[in-house]
Each structure stands twice: as C-alpha cells, then as structure tokens.
Amino acid sequence: MGYKTMDIKIFEELGSTNDYLKNNKELLKENFLAVYAKKQISGRGRNENKWFCGDNLDLAFSFVYQPEIVISQIPVITLLTGLSVYKTLFKILNGPSELKIKWPNDILYSDKKLCGILCERISFDEHKNCIIVGIGINVNSVKFPALLNNQAISLKQITKKEFELFSLLDEITNNIQHFFKNYRTRVSMKI
C-alpha cells in the first residue's frame, strides 16, 4: 500500500522551522507536513545549542508527525529519522565507514557533525499531541563559524561536489515516510 508524498512548504527565511510549526497550530493537525527554509537564522539543536545553516546552502526543515504509537515510544521517532537520513547519506557517499550515527540525534562523518535532529512533542488541542521533527544537514557550506570549524563538515567538503537541495530534500522525506510506514506496520501487526 502506498503513501502520499510529504507536503513541503518552502520559505525564503525563517527563524527556526521547528518554531514556525509550533507557532502555527493549524499546521500541527497535518501528518507529514514539512516546512523548509532556504535561510534559517535561529536554528537550534538539543539543549538549546545553536544550529548553523548557510543561506540557501544547507537543508533546514521540520515536519509534523501524528504518532500512532503510545507516548512512551516517542524516542523511536528520533531513531527512525536518524536511520532515514543515514540511509540517504550512505547512498550519496557510497557507504563510507567514516559515516556513523551518534545516537540519539546526530550523524557524523569522520567524527564531525554532518546532520542534527531535534524532536519535540507538542500539545495543540485538548488531549492531542504531535511530534515536530527538525533536521539540519550541512550540504553545500564550506565555511562555518569559527567555533564550529573543527566540529562540523558538509557533503560538499567530503565529496567536492555541489548538491541540489530540493532533490536531496525529496529523497530524505521519501525515506522518512518509508521508515515510518514500515515501523507502524510492524507495530500494528504485533498488537
């Protein structure tokens, strides 16, 4: 059984894609709705760490997920997202051993951060919750703020190639939906 392509809203600039979704409660009712910012100026990761995103160089997006699982299983969402992104990057980089997942929410290449994931549970109506999943991937940036120079790396730095952001976004969102659909199927079969 198929599933529809993730709807993606594109913005020239946002403070934070996670915050945009949190502040627009009507969007939280949409399952697999994504928000993508060409320029994200206030991106953040876990523990309120800042996330750098080059203007129209990197991927910064968030999507809404309506869980069909009990709240105690919510940490699985971060793991599924990490596996989805890892699968895409593994294919692009031809499966290098330098690529690894640092559980629960980072993807590293040669011990430098290539991707970060931030999941937040949000209540938007009486007794209704959703998960906002934010993903930042260093794609075409080659210069990072001084504090990140030894900690961050991009796909372009690794491969010496420029990447088309929308194609990469499409591939990642398709992998996310595939992983989530298969997880839901396995869970519902066990019940």
Question: Residue 191: what pLDDT?
Answer: 32
- Tell me whether residue 65 is in a domain: yes
d(CA 11, CA 28): 17
Distance between alpha carbon 20 and the CA centroid of its chain, in Å?
Answer: 15
Segments forming the whole domain that contains residue 100: 7-190
> Does the N-terminal peptide bond of residue 75 adopt cis geometry, omega within 30 degrees of 0?
no
User: Looking at the predicted structure, is the pLDDT value of residue 72 above 90?
Assistant: no
- Tell me whether residue 167 is in a domain: yes
Residues 13-70 have pLDDT tens digits of: 999 999 999 999 999 999 999 999 999 887 665 555 566 677 889 999 999 998 766 5
Q: b or e along 155-166 (b: 16 or more beta carbons within 10 Å of the residue's beta carbon)? A: bbbbeeeebebe
- Tell me whether residue 14 is in a domain: yes
Task: Tell which wins on pLDDT, 45 or 190.
Answer: 45
Q: Mean pLDDT in the chain?
A: 85
Contact (CB, 8 A) for 23 and 16: no
Residues 74-100 have pLDDT tens digits of: 688 889 999 999 999 999 998 777 999
Q: Structural domain tally of the chain?
A: 1
Question: Residue 97: what pLDDT?
Answer: 79
User: Looking at the predicted structure, is the pLDDT value of residue 187 above 50?
Assistant: no
- Tell me whether residue 2 is in a domain: no
- Tell me whether residue 108 is in a domain: yes
Contact (CB, 8 A) for 61 and 135: yes
- Tell me whether residue 47 is in a domain: yes
User: Looking at the predicted structure, is the pLDDT value of residue 126 above 80?
Assistant: no
- The neighbour count for residue 9, using CB atoms within 10 Å, is 16
- Tell me whether residue 55 is in a domain: yes
| pTM, entire model | 0.88
List Cβ<8 Å contacts ≥24 apart for 162-165.
163/92, 163/139, 165/56, 165/58, 165/59, 165/139, 165/140
d(CA 52, CA 94): 26
Of the chain, the percentage scoring pLDDT greater than 90 comes to 58
The model's confidence at residue 12, banded by pLDDT at 50, 70 and 90, is very high
Tokens, residue 9: 């809203």
CATH of the domain at 39: 3.30.930.10
Contact (CB, 8 A) for 128 and 151: no
